[in-house]
Amino acid sequence: DQQVKQNSPSLSVQEGRISILNCDYTNSMFDYFLWYKKYPAEGPTFLISISSIKDKNEDGRFTVFLNKSAKHLSLHIVPSQPGDSAVYFCAASDSAGGTSYGKLTFGQGTILTVHP
Amino acid sequence: DTGVSQDPRHKITKRGQNVTFRCDPISEHNRLYWYRQTLGQGPEFLTYFQNEAQLEKSRLLSDRFSAERPKGSFSTLEIQRTEQGDSAMYLCASSLPPTGTQYFGPGTRLLVL
């Protein structure tokens, strides 16, 4: 039962253009969402997060959009740079109605390649 | 802030041997998580601690796996009688509630021959 899905295994983008990575989830209890970037042989690096009370969060070149009714989130990277080439994972957590979060459930990842 | 550290970074062992991994979280973080990642997949949750209490264990965590965090600081993950299917990257993360953001270490790559 894959509760978080990234349906695009890979994405190729030209430098300077926008990269859009997508993620779908099925568990309606999820109320906190994160994006991580991962290089080979390293641990995931936190990029940006969004709470379910928002529909957009920006941090520099990175913007995350959340559509709760569609159970869909996306990560926009503008402008894309060759150094952004990595595997991107979306992840979700739920607070179980409380005030703190537990484990993360991850998607399978999308390999982003940004060409110079 | 020195980040999450893990030791060793790589481990090669023979089937049937026991292995132990260590994780040191970010110093003020009282939650510590273990995940396992295999090729082509996202990290999968194994277990987590709040201080020294183990709050949740995944069904993935068979009885050959045990994790401890005796003093609420560093944690160890032991795999007994390793099998080839245990070959994976073992990731540790920490967080400070109420935030849900977890910060990961570099991982320990295990190869069971």
Q: What is the DSSP string of chain A?
A: --SEE---SEEEEETTS-EEEEEEE--TT--EEEEEEE-TTS--EEEEEEETT-SEEEETTEEEEEETTTTEEEEEESS--GGG-EEEEEEEE--TTSSS----EE---EEEEEE-
> Quick check: B101 and A34 CB within 8 A?
yes
Contact indicator for A76, A18 with CB cutoff of 8 Å: yes
Where residue B16 falls among pLDDT bands split at 50, 70, 90?
Answer: very high
Q: What is the pLDDT of residue A97?
A: 67
> Quick check: A104 and B48 CB within 8 A?
no
Mean pLDDT over B76-102 rounds to: 95
Would you call B85 helix, strand, or coil by DSSP? helix
Nearest CA in chain A to B6: A43
CB-side neighbour CA atoms (13 Å) of B102: 31
How many Å separate Cα B75 from the centre of its chain? Answer: 8
Residue B1 pLDDT > 60, yes or no? no
Strands B10-13 and B108-112: parallel
Nearest CA in chain A to B103: A46
pLDDT in tens, B23-77: 999 999 999 999 999 999 999 999 999 999 999 999 888 899 999 999 889 999 9
The tokens describing B92, both together, are 């540790």
Measure in Å the smallest separation between the Cα of A6 and chain B Cα atoms.
10
* B33 vs A42, A103, A105: nearest CB: A103
Asked if A39 reaches chain B (Cβ–Cβ under 8 Å), the answer is no
Residue B98's alpha-carbon distances to A89, B29, B73, in angstroms, are 22, 11, 18
Contact indicator for A58, A105 with CB cutoff of 8 Å: no
**Which site among A47, A103, A105, A110 would you substitute to test the B interface, given the most B Cβ atoms closer than 10 Å to its Cβ?**
A103
d(CA A64, CA A50): 7
Strands A10-14 and A110-115: parallel
Nearest CA in chain B to A98: B98
Would you call B76 helix, strand, or coil by DSSP? strand
> Quick check: A101 and B106 CB within 8 A?
no
**Which site among A45, A104, A110 would you substitute to test the B interface, given the most B Cβ atoms closer than 10 Å to its Cβ?**
A104
Chain A residues whose beta carbon lies within 8 Å of the beta carbon of residue B107: 41-43
What string of pLDDT tens digits covers the 116 residues of chain A? 789 999 999 999 999 999 999 999 999 999 999 999 999 889 999 999 999 999 999 999 999 999 999 999 999 999 999 999 999 999 999 987 676 788 999 999 999 999 99
Asked if A65 reaches chain B (Cβ–Cβ under 8 Å), the answer is no
Q: How many other C-beta atoms can be found within 10 angstroms of the C-beta atom of residue B80?
A: 14
Percent of chain B with pLDDT over 90: 86
Nearest CA in chain B to A111: B40
> Quick check: A104 and B105 CB within 8 A?
no
Mean pLDDT over B2-25 rounds to: 97
